[in-house]
Amino acid sequence: MKRHGKPVSIRIKTLNGQVEYKRDYYYCRKCRSGINPRDEELGIDGLKHKITKELMAEIAFYGQNQPSFDRARRIINKALKLDINEETIRQVTETVGEIVFKQDTERAEETLRNIHRIGNESEPTNKNKVLYIQIDGAAVNTRIQDDDGSTWKENKTVLAFADSDIIQRKDGGHIITKKEYMPFIGTSEEFKKYVLDVAVRAGYGTTVEKVVVIADGALWIRTICDEIFPDAIMILDLYHLRENIYTYAKHKFPGNTAKYTAWSEAAIKMVESENAEKLLEQLPEGEKLPTGCVNLRNYITCNLDRIKYQEYWKAGYFVGSGAIESGNKLIVQQRLKQAGMRWSVKGAQSVLSLRAKDESTLWDNVVIPAVKAA
């Protein structure tokens, strides 16, 4: 292998601006390949887009943080004095997101393979600690059509936090000081491993004994949780229940605000006081309902063991999934559901993974190390 010609110049974008330097290039005629030893020494061989890994992580931060890649381009130009085009920002952001999502997936698969060990190797260190698991879905518009012609795919998100990481405000609200989100576009069966992994990292099986799952009553959520959290307390989100009661009442008393409001409040009071059976007596079987109106009788019947609100309040449990609803707005809607946006599934998953790490305050501890190690 011999040095090939004169030293070759290369321009690389870094956090400190663009750098140009010259290095020798060595070429082997026999194997028809060449190397740049100095690039390997500096750790910049094979860099995509001639951008350092540190700058890639910074670009990805703005790429997921801003409402669009074009807005990210303007912010990067203003903050870092670098001219990086919109397409490069998209590619870098999705590349970093793929790295992070792959790391999440490999860890989640390992956790699921070892599910039999959870809780069996040691007793929970804090039996009074409560781990909350909240799960919800939000649709993302993609470029892929399903058999019905729809391009909307459901993103499933899980949120985990412990009651020891909650601060109560003077106005009665709460601040969650430590939490983790994990979004996933795919089937509920595939999503299961991510739910378990997030729970384990939050202390499930080691520091936590009690698990409380709050969700909207969807069958796929119940199926997942029955399998991986067999001893969990499952609570039907009270706010979803109230919303469904009002929707049903509007159908029952169309155009009559006074009647449907009074009926709804009376029905909610029955459920909250654990008199749901009394409400069921008022709901006919086999009722034909319009699209978008829940079959309230079936909904309540299927969730009778998850609406013991007096018992939950007495134990001090949350009964609403406001945290995951807020999380979906931050992670999904504010970035992926801007006007006219359509995504590849892979691209959407990449950005969602990064936004989840940012909202979970894990950027410095997860994203940056993952990019450096890639």
Q: Between these two residues, 10 and 310, which has the higher pLDDT value?
A: 310
Q: Is residue 274 part of a domain?
A: yes
Place of tokens 């450096």: 372
- With 0-12 / 13-18 / 19 or more C-beta atoms within 10 angstroms meaning exposed / middle / buried, residue 216 is buried
Give the pLDDT of residue 49: 76
- Name 281's Cβ contacts closer than 8 Å, sequence gap at least 6: none
> 64-73: long-range contacts at Cβ-Cβ below 8 A with a sequence spacing of 24 or more?
64/93, 64/97, 64/335, 64/351, 64/354, 64/355, 64/358, 65/355, 65/358, 67/334, 67/335, 67/338, 68/338, 69/93
Instruction: At 48, list the tokens.
Output: 């995509």
pLDDT of residue 127: 62
Q: What are phi and psi of 302, to 5 degrees?
A: -70, -15
Tokens of 103: 């790391």
Range of 253's domain?
A: 238-319
Examine residue 171 and state whether it is found in any structural domain, yes or no.
Answer: no
Average pLDDT over residues 207-212: 89
* Count of domains for the chain: 1
pLDDT at 20: 87
Q: How confident is the model at residue 1 (pLDDT cuts 50, 70, 90)?
A: low
Position 255 in a domain? yes
Rounded to 5°, angle at Cα 308 from 318 and 245:
85
Can you tell me which residue has the tokens 């999380």? 327
H or E segment at 19? strand 17-23
Question: At 4, which amino acid appears?
Answer: H
Per-residue pLDDT reduced to its tens digit, 147-197: 889 999 999 999 999 999 999 888 888 999 999 999 999 999 999 999 999
Longest alpha-carbon distance in the chain:
90
What pLDDT sits at residue 122?
62
- Is 269 within a domain? yes
Would the pLDDT of 269 be above 90?
Answer: yes
Inside any domain, residue 306: yes
Instruction: Give the CA-trace dihedral at 10, 14, 19, 24, to 10 degrees.
Output: -40
How far from each other are the two terminal CA atoms of the chain, in whole angstroms? 28
pTM: 0.90
Q: What is the pLDDT of residues 238-264, one digit of tens each?
A: 999 999 999 999 999 999 999 999 999
Of 291, 342, 358, nearest to 68 by C-alpha is 342
Mean pLDDT, the chain, whole residue set: 92
